[in-house]
């Protein structure tokens, strides 16, 4: 550790702990109390290992850096309860600033590094922040938008720009790494139900909504009670951005356990196993196409020779037994989103194809129609959720009461996701409500179409969507990125799909692209593909004379 000077801390005010047994004590949940606790109990345990250099920080190192940064933020005027924008890639500075903001009892508000223009201006305005910590390579974008109530920008990285509009521009080395100082106590104890973060949704279909989360929400999402099979002895890879709950949430879930994380800037398929071995990673979250990318790597004799013991695969796809054996790890799957706290969770190495798992203890889940009436078993309905622990899900959408009221109507949180449930209590994701395809009277799950297309060995990633039909409703378009070096014949793909899907699900259109457009959190930008529609390079099976018909039992022939 560098020679970081010592700082004094004024003692926090004393207040009685909540006596409700559903609310854990502050030192199990709240960032400030946790950091102080780990300094007392395990100062020399490694908390974070950086994959780029192999550098590691102990809890003592982390505490010193966070305290120094917290003093700097407080000297800039940050107070308990205020929002602070953070616009950084995954980096050492991001980790420290994140926890320093929470150490003050302020609210961490990270921004997606892809944001620009109107979307960036919306987040800046909605956040109500007066201070932002921004990477030098992103700072110029702020000069192009209305910066609302922002007053100061702390720039991380290269030399700070001379000016960003009317804003006061500061170098992080000068203001976030002070040589001395005393940290003033918060006005009151930081409580488990206090706001910890505002995570903005991906904004793939419209202005982002800021999900307001308490410490208790983030704790419950993946804490020791919810994911009991993840322990303090694990090292969990942070392979998603910290502006995404899959990055920030993973880091926090190991922080509350007193465990450790390995930290990478971004997921890379080719170097994944080498990074696992180098960093001693034992657990990983494989979101979206990540597992498929790994599965389609050429097999090696040493694929299972690594410390990896546990992998979350979302969605659950492919041959789970083969993946588990090849990479030497136990597989779990879940359903979760930024707003909730893992209501659905599987058993290890689930055998039920396509499931998200079963309802965990502590939550209630219903599948309902548009009037919130429960649908019959086996019927598709929107998943709505509530919990028996206060503050265990989102606290609403920040400064958006209309969206909050819509989502929380009738006392249940409405996910916007279509599910079905079988007699054994297994839940199956069908689609985002807005992504379902309607073709000639049939509702088609884009998720299920994509799963079957992805089973083809030459397909690396795929997106299914509805495009206008000249007859009525929609036709099915699949946009595919082939495996590197592979060729894919659309007519051959349809032959592969014939025995695998219902006739009405069979794609009419196939478009091939080198890469699918995605957000930095690996979500496919379907709205872009919809806007492009059937392009000149799109293959049309009807024009190609490929017929798809059904026999009397609905099978494709």
In this prediction, residue 553 carries a pLDDT of 42
Q: Report whether 78 contacts 189 (CB < 8 A).
A: no
Q: What burial letters (b/e) apply to 338-362, b meaning 16+ CB within 10 Å?
A: bbbbbbbbbeeebebebbbbbbbeb
- Give the DSSP per-residue string, 219-278: HHHHSTTTSTTS-TT-EEEE-S-TTSHHHHHHHHHHHHHT-EEEE-SS--TTTHHHHHHH
- pLDDT tens track for 112-141: 887 888 888 999 999 999 999 999 999 999
In this prediction, residue 453 carries a pLDDT of 94
In this prediction, residue 521 carries a pLDDT of 61
* 269 alpha carbon, distance to own chain's centre: 18
What contacts 502, CB < 8 A, 6 or more positions away?
Answer: 550, 554, 556
- Give the tokens for residue 337: 């989103």
β-sheet bridge partners, residue 133: 86, 154
Report, as ranges of residue numbers, the positions in the chain whose pLDDT lies below 70.
Answer: 1-2, 202-207, 441, 472, 519-522, 550-557
Neighbours of 487 (CB within 10 A): 9
Task: Return d(Cα 119, Cα 113) in angstroms, integer.
Answer: 11
Q: Report whether 531 contacts 503 (CB < 8 A).
A: no
**Domains in the chain, start-ordered, CATH in brackets?**
20-238 (3.40.50.980), 258-387+426-431 (3.40.50.12780), 435-544 (3.30.300.30)
In this prediction, residue 472 carries a pLDDT of 67
Q: Is 532 exposed, middle or buried (0-12, 13-18, 19+ CB in 10 A)?
A: middle
β-sheet bridge partners, residue 180: none
- Give the tokens for residue 406: 């819509």
In this prediction, residue 520 carries a pLDDT of 59
Residue 101, H or E segment: helix 92-103
Q: Which of 358, 359, 375, 357 is nearest to 367 (CA)?
A: 375
Task: Return d(Cα 48, Cα 38) in angstroms, integer.
Answer: 13
In this prediction, residue 33 carries a pLDDT of 97
Q: Report whether 397 contacts 212 (CB < 8 A).
A: yes
Helices (H), 164-208: 172-175
- DSSP state at residue 364: E
pTM over 0.75: yes
Q: Which of 464, 522, 512 is nearest to 293 (CA)?
A: 522
Integer-rounded Cα radius of gyration of the chain: 24
In this prediction, residue 526 carries a pLDDT of 85
- Give the tokens for residue 351: 């055998």
């Amino acid at each position: 550790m560098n020679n970081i000077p010592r700082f004094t801390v004024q003692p926090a005010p004393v207040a009685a702990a909540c006596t409700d047994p559903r609310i854990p004590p502050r030192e199990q949940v709240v960032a400030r109390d946790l950091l102080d606790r780990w300094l007392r109990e395990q100062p020399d345990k490694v908390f974070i290992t950086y994959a780029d250099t192999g550098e590691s920080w102990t809890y003592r190192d982390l505490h010193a850096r966070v305290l120094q940064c917290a003093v700097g933020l407080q000297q800039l005027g940050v107070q308990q309860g205020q929002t602070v924008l953070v616009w950084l890639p995954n980096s050492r500075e991001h980790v420290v600033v994140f926890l320093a903001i929470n150490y003050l009892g302020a609210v961490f508000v990270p921004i997606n590094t892809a944001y620009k223009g109107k979307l960036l201006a919306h987040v800046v305005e909605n956040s109500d922040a007066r201070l932002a910590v921004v990477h030098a390579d992103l700072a110029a974008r702020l000069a192009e938008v209305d910066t609302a109530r922002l007053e100061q920008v702390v720039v991380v990285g290269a030399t700070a720009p001379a000016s960003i509009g009317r804003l006061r521009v500061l170098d992080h080395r000068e203001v976030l790494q002070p040589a001395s100082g005393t940290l003033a106590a918060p006005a009151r104890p930081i409580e488990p139900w206090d706001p910890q973060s505002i995570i903005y949704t991906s904004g793939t279909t419209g202005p982002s909504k800021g999900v307001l989360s308490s410490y208790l929400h983030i704790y419950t999402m993946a804490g020791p009670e919810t994911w009991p099979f993840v322990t303090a002895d694990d090292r969990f890879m942070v392979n998603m951005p910290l502006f995404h709950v899959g990055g920030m949430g993973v880091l926090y879930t190991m922080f509350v356990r007193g465990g450790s994380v390995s930290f990478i800037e971004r997921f890379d398929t080719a170097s994944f196993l080498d990074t696992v071995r180098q960093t001693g990673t034992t657990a990983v979250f494989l979101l979206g196409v990540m597992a498929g990318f790994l599965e389609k790597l050429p097999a090696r004799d040493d694929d299972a020779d690594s410390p990896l013991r546990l992998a979350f695969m979302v969605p659950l796809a492919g041959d789970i037994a083969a993946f588990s054996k090849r990479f030497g790890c136990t597989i779990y799957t879940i359903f979760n989103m930024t707003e909730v706290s893992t209501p659905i969770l599987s058993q290890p190495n689930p055998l039920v194809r396509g499931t998200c798992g079963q309802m965990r203890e502590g939550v209630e889940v219903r599948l309902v129609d548009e009037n919130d009436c429960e649908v019959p078993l086996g019927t598709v309905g929107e998943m709505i959720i509530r919990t028996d622990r206060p503050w265990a899900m989102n606290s609403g959408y920040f400064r958006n009461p209309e969206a909050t009221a819509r989502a929380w109507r009738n006392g249940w949180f409405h996910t916007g996701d279509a599910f079905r449930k079988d007699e054994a209590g297994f839940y199956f994701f069908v689609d985002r409500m807005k992504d379902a395809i309607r073709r000639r009277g049939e509702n088609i799950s884009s998720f299920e179409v994509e799963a079957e297309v992805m089973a083809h060995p030459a397909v690396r990633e795929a997106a299914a969507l509805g495009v206008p039909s000249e007859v009525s409703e929609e036709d099915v378009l699949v946009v595919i990125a082939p495996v590197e070096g592979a060729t894919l014949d659309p007519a051959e793909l349809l032959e592969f799909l014939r025995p695998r899907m219902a006739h009405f699900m069979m794609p009419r259109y196939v478009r091939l692209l080198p890469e699918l457009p995605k957000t930095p959190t690996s979500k496919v930008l379907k709205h872009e593909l919809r806007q492009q529609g059937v392009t000149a390079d799109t293959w049309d099976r009807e024009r190609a004379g490929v017929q798809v018909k059904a026999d009397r039992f609905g099978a494709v022939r």
